[in-house]
Amino acid sequence: MTTAHGARARARIEVTAAIKDEARRQLAAEGAARLSLRAVARELGMVSSALYRYFPSRDDLLTALIIDAYDSLGGSAEAAHAEAAGAGPAQRWTAVCEAVREWALAHPHEYALIYGSPVPGYTAPQATVPAASRVGLLLIGIARDAYRGLGLARPTLPGELRPEAERMAADLAPDLPPETVTALVAAWAQLFGLVGFEVFGQFNRLVEDRAAFFRHAAGQLAQGVGLVYPQRGPAA
């Protein structure tokens, strides 16, 4: 790469970052539904046509912000899991859940972008799926380690749900029992429900020691998935 090309590439990275930063500021002030490329350009002192060279539409900018938010959340969860690498599955599960909560509380507007109300007129493209899957795949991996080690307690599964459970297992984790995969999907939804209740204020005047409450709830989710053995490693 020539010096001129390198300088242009660095400039593009810097401008792209500035556009995203201003867009996040607007998310915090106005919400995702009112995000405007023209307003972003105006605040940055750019003409709209120049900004369109970076993000051709509002939806392109939203997609970039959504992927960044999912990746930031996923990175925080993965870092917490790495720090708890020597612990048993239940402890690693709780560490991941607490990292999700801490990230959401530190980034409430970005959390609202990915787990709040849908943005009118916007449909997230397939490109968002890998980033959106990072936390879920991490939780599946913890269950998989336990299953390959001391094993998992099998949650009960009503017969009427078995066909759906088998379909979900085939799609998400064919190496895990359908009962476990069903419990994982439920736990994933409950995790983000707990976090959302706190971020969006539904726990106000209801739960005061929210960290302790959340830690207990995350432990209950781990038990529901079957992570009940005092295991110190995947092959213990």
Range of the domain at 48: 1-56
3-state SS class at 133: coil
Report the distance separating Cα 229 and Cα 25, nearest Å: 45
> What are the E-state strand segments in the chain?
none
Q: Which of 10-19, 122-131, 146-155, 227-236 has the lowest mean pLDDT?
A: 227-236
| pLDDT tens by residue, 48-85 | 888 999 999 999 999 999 999 999 999 999 999 999 99
Domain count, the chain: 2
* Whole-number CA gyration radius for the chain: 21
pLDDT digits over 92-127, tens only? Answer: 999 999 999 999 999 999 999 999 988 999 999 999
pTM given for the model = 0.90
Report yes or no on 49 lying in a domain. yes
At 150, which CATH number? 1.10.357.10
Could you give the count of Cα atoms lying within 13 Å of 172 in the half-sphere of its Cβ? 27
